[in-house]
Amino acid sequence: MVSKRAYGQYCGFARALELVGERWALMIVRDLLVGPKRFSDLQRGLPGIPTNVLTARLKEMEQTGIVERVAQPRPAGGVAYQLTPGGTDLEAAVHALGRWGAKRLGDPRADERVTVDSLVIALRSTFQPKAAKGKHLSIEMRFGPIVLHAIVKNGTIEAAPGPLPDADVVLQTGPAFRPLLAREMTPREALKNGTAILRGPKNALDQFVELFRI
């Protein structure tokens, strides 16, 4: 057992915490669920993590079969980290924790930042498949310099970093994103007070909000 944390219980939940309960471990899993990343990419996406802690967590997670190293294709080359199939099995747990935590976010703290990976996971975890049955919508989202996109097709979602040419909707927003998904602010209010700027059909923000919920 690599992890220093041990609960002395023969229990699946206890074993899971021994493997991914150390500080920063699930944050690394969250970002790798978006896609493979170099060590430097992980550092940029997790600005508060000390280098030695990131090194230790990646080593532990490699040894326990959660993460693996893969060669990057040319011309970039080098090595990146990605989740193993066992690591990817944590996706449902990450989404569940994300939904639970989103209900308790409140307003952003002064030292907190938003990252593209955190927003991608937020979209995936708050997506409502039942509400999306029969719906088709592509959207590009802009949070200041951060750009990501989502494609909804008949109850499924693909969310990833980067722009989406020819998106049905382009939404520019910021802190209003959470109140919209929590139904604390209506699309009409967000558009009226300028906390959301929309390019697309007038009812597109209403459609979007129906598909996601905290």
The pTM score is 0.91
Boundaries of domain holding 71: 12-89
Tokens at residue 19, please?
Answer: 């493997």
Q: What kind and span of H or E run contains 67? A: strand 67-71
The total number of structural domains in the chain stands at 2
Query: Whole-angstrom Cα distance, residue 179 to residue 177?
Result: 6
Same domain, 53 and 124: no
Same domain, 49 and 130: no
Query: What's the number of CA atoms in the CB half-sphere (13 Å) around residue 192?
Result: 5
Same domain, 58 and 143: no
Residues 153-190: tens digit of each pLDDT: 999 999 999 999 999 999 999 888 899 999 999 999 99
Q: What is the CATH number of the domain that holds 161?
A: 3.30.1050.10
Does some domain include residue 153? yes
Same domain, 140 and 187: yes
Residues 74-127: tens digit of each pLDDT: 777 789 999 999 999 999 999 999 999 999 988 888 888 899 999 999 999 999
Report whether pLDDT(18) > 90. Answer: yes
Same domain, 72 and 148: no
